[in-house]
Structure formats: C-alpha cells, structure tokens
Structure 1
C-alpha cells in the first residue's frame, strides 16, 4: 500500500544498531523523511463573512478593499467561484473538499437534526485539510470564526473532539459561534475560554485582535520552526452582523449611500463591467417584487437606513485592512514569494437577515415582529444615530443593501437557488508560481475545490484512511492548472446547491433553480410554510454560458433541458444525503421544541461561574424557572448577581445602591425593569427569582416574582419574551457581566462585579 494512503505516517525507525554495550553499538541519528516538495508553499486562506461581490471597490463597489485589490493585482482573480449560500456549510466544504450535506452540514449547527445531511457534525470520515497537511509536515493555525462545532459542545468543558485543535489545527484563536460582538466577544484560545485583551474603551475590536494574534503566531513560527511551511486559515467575523465598527471608519462613507440601494446597484453594475470583472454584455437582474425599492422608504427613516450601510462599509474596509496587516507580516518575515494566498470575499452572499434594518439583529431571527420606527425610537432614546455601531447596539443593515451588495445577481445569503447567494469573488496570489494577470479566470470553481487543489499542488494523494477511519471520497476537483493557464479546461462540471429548500443544479454551463419556501428578507414565518413541499415549487432554467447573471429564464422554451436538469439534481441530492429536501427546516419550522439545548433541568453553580455560552446555559428567558441565590450582601450593595445574553438582548439581576433590579432586555426595542421596594439589608440573604409563563406560546408574556428570605419584594410582567436565544456568542455570567452590558444602567460601570459574596446559585426548571 502506498504510504500516502494511511495517515498519520508511522514513526521513523531508529537508524542506530544497538549492541550489548555502547562500544559494540553503532549510533546514527534518525531523520524523518521529508514528505513535501522542497518548494512547498506556505498557504494563507482569508475568508470574509456575509460579503457579496457588489461591495469591494476591487470589483466596482464603494467599499475600499486595498488588500483584496493588492492580492488580485499581484495575482489572479476568479469571477465564477461558488459557495453554498450559508456559512457553516461553506466552511465545512472548503476545509474538507466534500459537499456540505455529505458531511452533515446542510445548515448551521444550532439547527442540527437527525437527518444525515443535517446532523451538524463533520464526520471523522472526512478529515479536514489541516489534519492531512499537519501529518505531512505543515504547521497549522486558525483564527476567527469557527462555526463547525456542535453548539452543545462549545462550553468550557467541551467535549473537545470537534474543536479546531482536535481536527487538524495545532492552534486556534477566535470564537465558536456564528457571530460575535466585535467589542465583547466570547473568545477561545485552543480549548480555553479567554477574555479580550482590552476593553472597548481601550480601543478593542475583534478583527484587529485576530490580526494581532495571527501576527504573533507567525513570528513565533518563524523563530521556533522556520523549516516548516504553514497553513493559516484567517476568517474574521466581518461583515456578519452585528455591524460593529468605530465611528471614524463609518464616517469615511458619510453620504456615499444617500441615493439608496437601487441607485447604488446600477452604479456598481456599470463599474463592474468597466473593470472587466463581469462581461460587458451582462444584464442587471431585476429587484424581487417582495423587496422594497428605495423610493418606498419614508423620508424620516432614510438617515437610519443609510447610516446602517455606512457602518457595514466601514466594517468591511476595516476587516480588509486587518487582512492586509497579516499579509504585510508574511512579507516582512520573508515568506511572501512562496506563500499561496487565497482571499475569498464571502462565505456566501451579503446577508438580508437584518430584514428592514435593525438595531438588534437577533430580533428578526427570533421571529418577533417590529417596525422601523420602534428601532429608531430605541436608537434615539440611547443618544441618536451615533449609538449605531457601538457596544450599545447590535445593528445590521436593511436587506435592500444586501441585495445591492450582491450586484449584479438576484440572490443573497440563504438563497442557494440564485447567484448572489452562491457566487463570491476569489483572489489568488503566489509570486513564485503565478504571473499577475488582470483578466479574471472564468472557470466554474466551487468551495469543495480548494482542498483537492492544495493536494494537487503538493503532490498529495487524498488519504484513504486517517487516524484509523476510512475516508469519504473528495467531491471537489483541482483547478491548479488555471493558476498558470487562463484558458485551462474547466474541471468542475456538475454541482448541486441546497439551503433550507432553496436549491439549484449546475451542469456544463446550465443552471436550474427553485427559489424555495422563503425569501430571507421577509420578516416572520412565511404563510403556509408548514405545508410546503418541494413538489409545489416552480423551477427556472438559465443558460449561464450566454446569461452571466441569471437574468433570462428559458424554462418555457427548453422544457426537455429543464427536465434533464431536475433529474440530475435528484441524482446529486440522493448521492449527497440532501433528502429530505428542506431538511434544515425541520427544527426552526416544524419542531422548534427540538432545538438543540442543554439536556439538564437543574443546576448548582458557584458564585464564580464565568462565560457559560448561552446555548448550553439554562434558558432563563424562555422556560419557567426558579433562580435561588445564596449571597452575603454588604451595606448599599451594588453589582451583577447574574447576566444572560448581551447588549443586544438578554436578562439580568443586579443590585444598585442596595436596591435589587431585574431587567429583561428584549433586543433593545423593549426593556422591562422591576425594582425592589426597599434596599436589601446587609447580611446573608436568599434571593429567589421566579419566572412563569402567562402565555404558553413561544414569545409569550412572563410573570416575574422576586423574594428575599421568603418575603416578596418585587413583581412584574415581561409582555413579550424571546422564544430563541438572546445572542449567538454571549454567555451566562454570575457575579459579573463580562460580555455586552445587558442593562444600560450599568453600561458605564461594566463589568459591574458584585461587591458582596455569592456562595451558590441554584437554577431549576419548573415546567
């Protein structure tokens, strides 16, 4: 058997001959054989988040992306690179070379279910590229967003077998969720929870921190193991919501978007053609009738909407600058010439999950109806438009900007049916091997092709067994020949797409598409979705070889071709565990009660519990429960007793000048505050917070009753609760609020530690 077939390689045997004595022995130092070519390149993959092709000025947009432009100017660009239309699926496919359903990533891990294609866990039969490269001699490191560990396993006790450092990366620094506050993220270094090194007041921003840490890792690598090539995966959370960025970055774009998304889209389309990024005969696709025009936006809401886009633009530019710092360090350390950089602008298209524009983007994901005036009122109550982009908000732009950010295509994130959801730009630079070429490569390339391309360049055969586990076949194909030959033959001829029932099939220049049951920018659950079946969807057909943007549906004139394409989709779906179509909807639509959560019904915490991710913490905001706190209360006590969630939404119980407060922050737009009638007396106290549902429906009203030593001291009603999570990345803290400030009342005193002593906190569900 070829030694490349089985990994890891066996230990290098001794080169010495042992005799009875050292005098009778022959000593020779063993030397492990080299497994890589002498000129094996370093590899840097940069992956931006929720970013469409219509944003970078590299391709005709308004956002300054000097690093992206630099990489493409010194290398080549691919204008037909494709993703899956959703973050976790793309990342899993990009790092394994397998289709996303085949490896259980038909959707994000938080919505995992028991269908094979949607199980939410990358199987060990599909080893990640860093696992293979590590065995061949690469140093491997990952930074930023990691959204491929089952959510229930992301607590500080693991289990760790699905964390980055257990599946190929020797070092990891970042966050395990789908998004994070850029100011107060819940961070992990390897398998240890860590706090950000600075506060927002000290100028902390996550994207900068990720660049700092990557630079530090590169310097250590250069000092300690310079003989090894490195594989670095740098994937910041930008520009996934919340769109957190410092004021000066957003102010660069003041007034740039005042004409609205329709005007912006037309401008970007023309500039993309002028730059040669898209063909000159391309057609600008129409706006979906369910998407409002800019002219539909009331005048008194336009400042809010344009500021949201200015913040997104500043956030995107800032992230690109941080990527540039990493590239600069690679150059500074002498690695530049032989480093292969793949800079992918977006793991899917721009995101419309902000829907009508929001000050707290998980409001929409919880399915809670709201109006733009409600968001504006909440913003104004906190100080006006300048609060957007700060630690006090979790803002995200109107879906109209996402549509414009995916110019010239119809789709956006979550639409696997249409380009814009699945077509993202990629720039590639490798000075030692790739001559700069301004003409974009037009071969069809998919995220599953990254791994086989790397293996091809290194002469690695995909292993058949890794760590004792037989391996699934690679689904992608190498596009390495296109690095040096602009006219290289296209190798990826067939590819299916499917996310939450939205689906398509590409084959040899044709694409058939079915939009699916929901438009991601339309608030609420679509009417009739519980009865949806893919059999009722109408299919569209596009000849992409002649129709670059998917603008001309030819289904009526080519019924036989459409039938052929639909049959091909069925074949590919069966091969890749896509069935049942729309399987990702099983939890959020059909069975929300099965959403992954902690299996426990009671907890006993000590007073120093820190950073327990909300997804594994007790659900204090949407389950009937009792919290019992055994505390020693000083005179006129102050500080947080517990906090769940963050600034964008959560609940908290705290003392302030002796008074006990409970606050339920419904995604900023509605805050319910309950205060004790009297100050708490100094001494040992038993504080009980009892939560009951007044309305058993998801999001129903809550009754809150607070007692101290058996005496009721405060009651109140929370009129609307959060049926899902308050946050994606924030936590439960006891005795302090280390994440975003749930209450504005202690924002300026954060993390507002309790100045007494908490001995225990007992939590139990009561339903």
Structure 2
C-alpha cells in the first residue's frame, strides 16, 4: 500500500453543493424554505456571507475543484456551448489538475456524487472517451450524471464509466436526490470497511435546484399558500428576516426590481395560482435535497467521523435561475427560443391533471424568473448575471468540530470559489504541486481562507477578482466593484433585439463601493469617474491574464452560430436494435434536420412497443407500434403534440419501416413534414407546425426498442418503458440534406 504523506489527524472533507439556488431561499438566512441541515452546519460552525461563485454552473464547478479562474481553464460557459477560443474550449486542461487528483496521491480516498457537467459533451456517451470523466481526473468513484441537469425521476446515470439505470422506478418511489444520498452512504460504509485508515474527500453535488423542479406532491404541499403574496412581497419579508438574523448588515438596502421584470401585480389573477404552485414545488424540492444532505452528515457521525470531518455546505453554484422566464411546464422550451404564453402552459397542464401535476413525472416545470429574483434577495441579479451579486454571491457554511469554534457572526471577508482548493492544501500542509502525472501545472488563482476558519478577524486574502459570463461582467478590488450588465437580461424571453450587433465597448459600466453598499444599491459611476476608469482598466488586465477575451465569447454558439453547437461529425449511423441511453447532444438530430430513419424489424401480430425514442417527457419524438398500428409523435415541449397514426394495422412478418423528416423551410424552428412508409408504400404523413431548433432535453437520450427515460408520448406513459414486442434487426439514420 502506498504510504500516506498526510498529517496523522488529516480531516475528512465533505463538500455539499446545491445547484441554481439563491441566498433568499433558505430559512437559515431568512427565507421560506426549510433547510434544517444547512442551519445545523451553520449553527455548529461558521458562515461566510461574502462567498462568491461565477454566475454559471460548469464554470463554478471547474473553478471550485481546480482553484483556477474559469476562463483560464477553458470553462467560461457550459460544456454544450464550447467553441475554439482558449477561454471557452470546454475542457479542463491537464495543467490544472483537480484537487481530488492531488489528494488521492497524498493518501485520500475520493468520491463524487450527483451533477458533474465538466466533461466535454461530445465525450459523454457510453463508449467515451473517458479521459475527462470524473474517475480519470481524480475521483476514485463517481455516481451521478454528466450533463447540466437531469430528471429527478428518470435520469440518465453513470457509475464510474458505465451507463446505469436508476435502481427503481418513479412508481416505486424513486427520486434522484435520495438515490445520491443512498449511494454516498453506501460508499462511506464500504470505505469504513476497506480503508478505515484513509481520510476521505467527498463531493456531493445534487441536481437540485436546477430545473426541472421535480418533487413528490407531499413535499410541495408543505408550502401551500406560502407564496400567494408574490415575489415582491416575498423579497421584503426575506430582507427584514435576513437583517434580524444578522446574515446581512443592518445598513444593507433592498434593491429595486428591474423594469423588465414583471411585478406580481402585473400577473393576471387567473395565472397566479399556477405561478405560486411553481414556487411551492421549488421550495419542496429544495427542502428535500437539504434533508438528503442531512442523511449523509448523519451517517458520517454514526461512523465516528463527525468531529474530524470538515464540511463545506455551499448553497448555490450561482444565483437562482430565471431560465424558466414566465413560468414553464417544460423548461427547454424557452431555451429553444420558442415563444409561448402562460395560458398555453396552464391549458396543457389541465390535460395532465392540473396544478397537482407540477413537480410530477408528467412535466419538466421551472418557476417564473420573478421567483429567481426573489430567491436572490436582497441583490439585483440572478444566475447568468456576473455583474450583480445575486448571480455571484452565495452562502457557505463550514463545520469542523475538532477545529472550528461555532460563531453566529458571519465571516465578512471576500472569498471566491477558487479559494477552496488552496485552503484545503493549506490545512494539510500540501504545497501545490508543480507537476501532476508528468504535466507541469498552472499557478493556482485562489487564496487560502484557512486562517479565517479559526480567526474571525483574519485579514482578507482575496483582494481582486474578475467575473464574466456571456458578456455580463464585473471586477472586484479591495471593497469596490465595477459592473457591466451585459447584452441580455436572462429572464426576458427570446433573443434580445440588436444582440448580433452588440459589442462590449458600448456597455454602460456601474460603480459600487461594496464596503459601504452591501447590495449594489447606489451607482457611483458619475460621482467617481476616475475610480471607474481605474476599475475598468483592472478588469482589462485580469481579462487578458485569464483568457477572457473576446468578452462575451460564450455567446458565439447560442446567439451567433447555433449551427456550431456541439454534435457528432457523422451524417449516417447504423444501429443495432438494442441501442440504449445515447445522450441526445451526441445522437442524430432527428428533431430538426432533414433525415431518414430506416428500421428493419420482425413484426408479430398486433405488435406494440417503442421502435425508437429521442428526448423525454418535456419534449422529444418517438416512433412506436400500438396494437399493430404504426404511430409517430412529435412532442413540442408538452404545449403541442403532433401525432401520426396509420389507419390499418401492420401485418405480421419482416418489414422495412421508414420515417422521413423534411423541413419545410430553412428557418430554425420551422415546420417539418413527416412521412411514414412500410415496405415502400406510404402509410401516413402530417406536418409538425413548429420544430425544436435545439435540444429536446439536457440529459435524456436516444433509445431503440424501448423508452428508458421519460415517456415522450403520454399514450404509452403508463406502459413505459414500453419495450417492442418484436425484433429490431437494424436501424439506419441518414441526414438527407
């Protein structure tokens, strides 16, 4: 056995990371969401009320685990939007090794659970390559999902480098957050049995509160009526509570709502119950995840590790998400740029069982951006806004009973997600290695906050930090912050007018003295123009050092060149009949490209079952047989469904089934004609009036012969996964233009 190079009392380390959550949600800090575990960690340890993230998930996670700034390690945006500029390449370089890689070499056992989202999208299939998967860059064990989000009921999961199915069905009570806690507890028990002398490093990153907001009805019902007053009232309530709890200073001011954000009074009366229920579901979802984190901590204590385990509970990898925009039952609808009305969502929801369907396996709901704004109380921003603290300031609670004396007064020092790694190294006496696995290492950008853990008066060590996400940007230095909002408000639907002509040179910069203005309530740009100029120059220097240029480079794919979105280079595929769980981003783009799917199958009498399915409950397309009838459905994010069905049953015997899809025009999202033929004869056709120009899902897949993820069609949802009763010999997919 390799000898340990660690101190004899090296602590175990648990990092809990909540997704897409703002500081105004937990009751720990004055919100309405019950977070007993977060309160427990804070009450038995200390809190940091000036901990900062990057305003986006993949960038924060990459920085948190490497100690380097997100652009410098090619993670300026989510991996699906990678491009050729160095800062935006979507792959963490080997010259910036993750902390678990180093800790493993020093003698730690390492594991990760939940959301990853730091492997290049093109590499996330069952055949790899695996060199950028968690278990090849430092973690000895991984269980979770590689994408940015997942259904909490029917996720596409991997264990180490193997695609696996959830251990039970939604009908049996499956929920992803519980599964992640169960698996982490199993890992802890195995660790205790096999390596009791080794400390562990565990990264537990639940997919909550990222959309879709999925939770069992009873959890949402706990919040019935709690949000009926709307987001404006909620912010005022939380603001006062946060002051009473001492989480924010008494001098802090509640910032105003952006005029582009609707007030609660602007929401029609007949839509308010829908909007309030979306928030009730989100709150239940968040509480449930916090409970699962508590189960994990309980097990650590039961195994005798409580006193010497350093727990860092980070509430949010960015602020709350406004990507639900006006409130949605299928969150990728907005991300595909397809306009819709709230009444469409309510009408479609009515067919699924009404408001009780929210949070269920039937929908992929996400709350109104007004709730994201409220969840980021008392700040102006939210996720995707690197310019304002609601997108970049997230609470962190730290507990280590053996070393940290509990203190109810929050630590006020500026801390950044890049600081976690150097802090861990500092505590363990590890000098950041110059070479890892033969690769010379880049310097670490973060600074240690180890002294702050035991000394509340410790000097602030992180003096300067830039922020940039999709053109929204800021620079912090020694109590001051200069901010440029950027080209778009994330809560406004559609592509902003004129964005293709946008240049960062014309953005208006704001200036704030954070040492006196906690919430960026007072813009001092006109009063101190020289200070603003100094800060802007500092941003330019930091941007040049960290490969930020071109500012807004992450917009290249989603705004300027969506045709460059990550996909495979292939134009033709030959599949066997048992293809399972091919992630949609690397599967054939059947939803908008001109294509032909040719299926050779042996058809029994009155055959039933899925021939193929792409996507999931929230959107997708599927071809299947139902009691002998050949069927096709294009599920446009639940709000519209195009169904095609033959008038006669297919006879028994070998058959060649062809599904031909042809765009009517070259416009993204335009109509499609879909034609079904059997043995050369046309048997049915129809027109899909609106198509999805992007992805149907972020984590669902292409399956052949079954539908293992969310049921694309409601017509077979109660029979899912609805395996085909015949035999599929081959499936050929070819792009036809």
Secondary structure in structure 2 of the residue aligned to 1:336: coil
Matched, 1:522 2:492: yes
- Name the counterpart of 1:34: 4
The aligned residue for residue 305 of structure 2 is 335
Residue 241 of structure 1: aligned partner: 211
> How much does 1:689 deviate?
0.3
Instruction: Look up the match of 1:93.
Output: 63
TM-score, normalised relative to structure 2: 1.00
Q: Give yes or no for contact 2:75–2:92 (8 Å, CA) kept in 1.
A: yes
CA distance in 1: counterparts of 2:256 and 2:2, whole angstroms:
60
Once the two structures are superposed, residues 104-162 of structure 1 have per-residue CA deviations (whole angstroms, 9 ceiling, x without a partner) of 00000000000000000000000000000000000000000000000010000000000
> In the alignment, is the contact (CA less than 8 A) between 2:330 and 2:366 conserved in 1?
yes
Corresponding residue number in structure 1 for 2:616: 646
Q: Shift of residue 32 of structure 1? A: 4.9
- Structure-1 separation of matches of 2:4 and 2:64: 27
Check conservation: 2:3, 2:107, Cα contact below 8 A: no
Q: Deviations over 1:10-35 (max 9, x none)?
A: xxxxxxxxxxxxxxxxxxxxx75430
Q: How does 1:232-311 map to 2 (within 5 A)?
A: 232-311=202-281
- The residue that corresponds to 1:553 in the other structure is 523
Give the whole-Å Cα distance in 2 for the aligned partners of 1:574 and 1:207: 40
Partner of 1:22: none
Alignment pair present for 1:712 and 2:648: no
Deviations 1:627-672 (A, max 9, x none): 0000011111110000000000000000101101000000000000
SS in 1 for 2:390: coil
Q: Does 2:33 match 1:63?
A: yes
Cross-structure match for 2:78: 108
Which of 371, 386, 404 is the matching residue for 2:341?
371
Equivalent in the alignment of 1:589? 559
Q: Paired residue for 1:126, among 67, 74, 96?
A: 96
Aligned residue for 2:686, secondary structure, equals strand
Name the residue aligned to 2:356.
386
- Corresponding residue SS for 1:337: coil
Residue 493, structure 1, aligned to residue 463, structure 2: yes
Aligned partners of 2:515 and 2:580: how far apart in 1?
55
| Alignment match, 2:145 | 175
Q: For 1:601 and 1:246, how far apart are their aligned partners in 2? A: 41
Tell me if the contact between 2:156 and 2:709 (Cα under 8 Å) persists in the aligned partners: yes
Tell me the SS of whatever aligns to 1:301: helix
Matched, 1:50 2:16: no
| CA-CA distance at 1:730 after TM superposition | 0.2
Corresponding residue of 1:74: 44
Distance in 2, matches of 1:501 and 1:33, equals 48
Q: Secondary structure at the residue paired with 2:285?
A: helix
* Equivalent-residue separation in structure 2 for 1:373 and 1:255 (angstroms): 21
In 1, Cα distance between equivalents of 2:668 and 2:461? 49
| CA deviation map 1:558-606 (0-9, x unaligned) | 0000000000000000000000000000111111111110110000100
Q: Which of 547, 550, 568 is equivalent to 1:598?
A: 568
Question: Distance in 1 between the 2:533 and 2:576 partners?
Answer: 62
In 2, the alpha carbon distance for the partners of 1:607 and 1:586 equals 37
Identify the residue that residue 658 of structure 2 maps to in structure 1: 688
Work out the CA distance in 2 between the residues paired with 1:38 and 1:204.
Answer: 40
Gaps of 5+ in 2: none
Give the gaps of 5 or more residues in structure 1. 1-30
Q: In structure 2, how many angstroms separate the alpha carbons of the residues matched to 1:382 and 1:205?
A: 20
Of 540, 543, 554, 1:573 maps to: 543
Question: Of 189, 195, 200, which aligns to 2:165?
Answer: 195
Q: Which runs of 4+ in 1 moved over 4 A?
A: none
Deviations, residues 396-440 of structure 1 (Å, cap 9, x unaligned): 000000000000000000000000100000000000000000000
Higher radius of gyration, 1 or 2: 1
| Deviation per residue, 1:310-329 (Å, 9 max, x gap) | 00000000000000000000
2:187 equivalent to 1:211: no
Which residue in the other structure is 1:397 paired with? 367
Counterpart of 1:758 in structure 2 is 728
CA distance, structure 2, for counterparts of residue 71 and residue 472 of structure 1: 33
Q: How many residues align?
A: 737
Query: For 1:679, what is the secondary structure of its paired residue?
Result: coil
Q: Following TM superposition, by how much is the alpha carbon of 1:217 offset from its aligned partner in structure 2, in angstroms? A: 0.1
Distance 2:734 2:179 in 1: 38
2:508 corresponding residue in structure 1? 538
Match in the other structure for 1:614: 584
Per-residue deviation, 1:382: 1.4
What CA distance in whole angstroms lies between the structure 2 residues aligned with 1:34 and 1:53?
Answer: 39
Alignment of structure 1 residues 424-443 onto 2, 5 Å: 424-443=394-413
Q: 1 CA distance for matches of 2:331 and 2:663? A: 25
**Other structure's SS at 1:390 match:** coil
SS class of match (1:424): coil
Map Cα deviations across residues 365-409 of structure 1 (whole Å, 9 max, x no partner): 000000000000100011111111111100000000000000000
Distance 1:367 1:471 in 2: 41
Per the alignment, in what secondary structure is the counterpart of residue 698 of structure 1? Answer: coil
Residue in structure 2 matched with residue 354 of structure 1 by the alignment: 324
Residues 167-221 of structure 1 show CA distances to partners (whole Å, capped at 9, x for unaligned) of 0000000000000000000000000000000000000000000000000000000
Distance 1:383 1:306 in 2: 17
2:481 alignment counterpart: 511
> Which position in structure 1 is the counterpart of 2:442?
472
- TM-score (normalised: structure 1): 0.96
Q: In structure 2, what is the equivalent of residue 734 of structure 1?
A: 704
Distance 1:128 1:764, change over 3 A: same
For 1:753, what is the secondary structure of its paired residue? coil
2:190 to 220, 223, 230: 220
Give the secondary structure class of the aligned counterpart of 2:607: coil
User: How far did residue 695 of structure 1 move?
Assistant: 1.5
The range that moved more, 383-392 or 142-151, is 383-392
What SS does the corresponding residue of 1:216 show, helix, strand or coil?
helix
The aligned counterpart of 2:87 is 117
Q: Which residue of 1 aligns with 2:106?
A: 136
- For 1:148, the equivalent position in structure 2 comes to 118
Q: CA separation in 2, counterparts of 1:459 and 1:617?
A: 46
Write out per-residue CA displacement over residues 69-107 of structure 1, whole angstroms, 9 at most, x where no aligned residue: 000000000000000000000000000000000000000
Cα-Cα RMSD: 0.5
